[in-house]
Amino acid sequence: MADLSRTTHRVSGGYDIVIAEAGDRAAPAVVFIHGSGPGASGASNFRQNIDAFVAAGYRVILPDLIGYGGSSKPEGLDYTLQLFTDTLYEALVAHGISAASLVGNSLGGGIALLMTLDHPEFTRNLVLMAPGCVAEREAYFVMPGIAKMVSNFGGPDFNLAEQKRLVSNLVHPDFAPNIPDTLVAERFEVARTQPKDVIVRMRTPDLSPRLGEIDKPVFVLWGLNDEFCPEAHSRLFLDHCPDVRAITFGRTGHWVQVERAAEFNAYAIEFLDARR
């Protein structure tokens, strides 16, 4: 894998946001925004995509959201979509990025949407894999994948086996045996440092009524067997975004960029190349 450099930026509220990156700093920036869940981080969520995008001539930006990876993990507050978006945007600007393509999975897709709505001049285009925040929060919490994600993470009984179970829930059962132990271990080390507020006090709005405001090119990719964000939500983008295309993958869960890495890389790079 390409070597990653890491920079920490202090943002409003006194929080630190870590940004890893690879590739030519003069190349067009692509910001990969990871999803939620115990142990998530930028590098662990997109490890199978970094080299392909660097080889295609892009500057790969991998931030750790507040509450995740190596970034600050405050307790005693609501983890709102606005908090995720504002702290990330401030860190990206401090990192010298004035415009970028946004690639977001799950919660990261919702952040990409809100960042585009709040700062339309910043976003060139969007690649979204099973994006969240296009339904009421309660609608997601009845999804079977989220129900299975309930865990005593960070507690005394939390171990590698429990972390592997959590990660396996993100993918189709056929793919679960392919999850590397190194990925599980990497996420376990992060999960052990996270407060429960990251999950239990997450607050996300329904952005679907605002999708028609997004005039950037949008590419939506979804697994048909996603148990976290239903594939039927792809129709919201097709119905409301003025410039959108979508692909659905059979026998695929919530992690298109992992389960279908080679195809995802090829399709997403083709989409971005056409708009350089």
Catalytic machinery residues = 254
Residue 24's Cβ-count burial label (10 Å; 0-12, 13-18, 19+) is exposed
Which amino acid is present at 212?
G
Dihedral angle sign, alpha carbons of residues 200, 73, 5, 1: negative
Beta bridge mates, 102 = 31, 126
Q: Which residues contact 10 (CB under 8 A, 6 or more apart)?
A: 16
Q: Are 199 and 171 in contact (CB under 8 A)?
A: no
- Coil, strand or helix at 215: coil
Q: Are 63 and 45 in contact (CB under 8 A)?
A: no
DSSP secondary structure letter of residue 249: E
| Among 46, 47, 94, 40, CA closest to 67 | 40
**Hey, what are 84's tokens?**
């995720």
- Separation CA 97–CA 222 (nearest Å): 28
DSSP secondary structure letter of residue 231: G
- Coil, strand or helix at 11: strand
Q: Which residues contact 106 (CB under 8 A, 6 or more apart)?
A: 35, 36, 129, 130, 131, 132, 228, 229, 254
Beta carbons within 10 angstroms of residue 244's beta carbon: 20
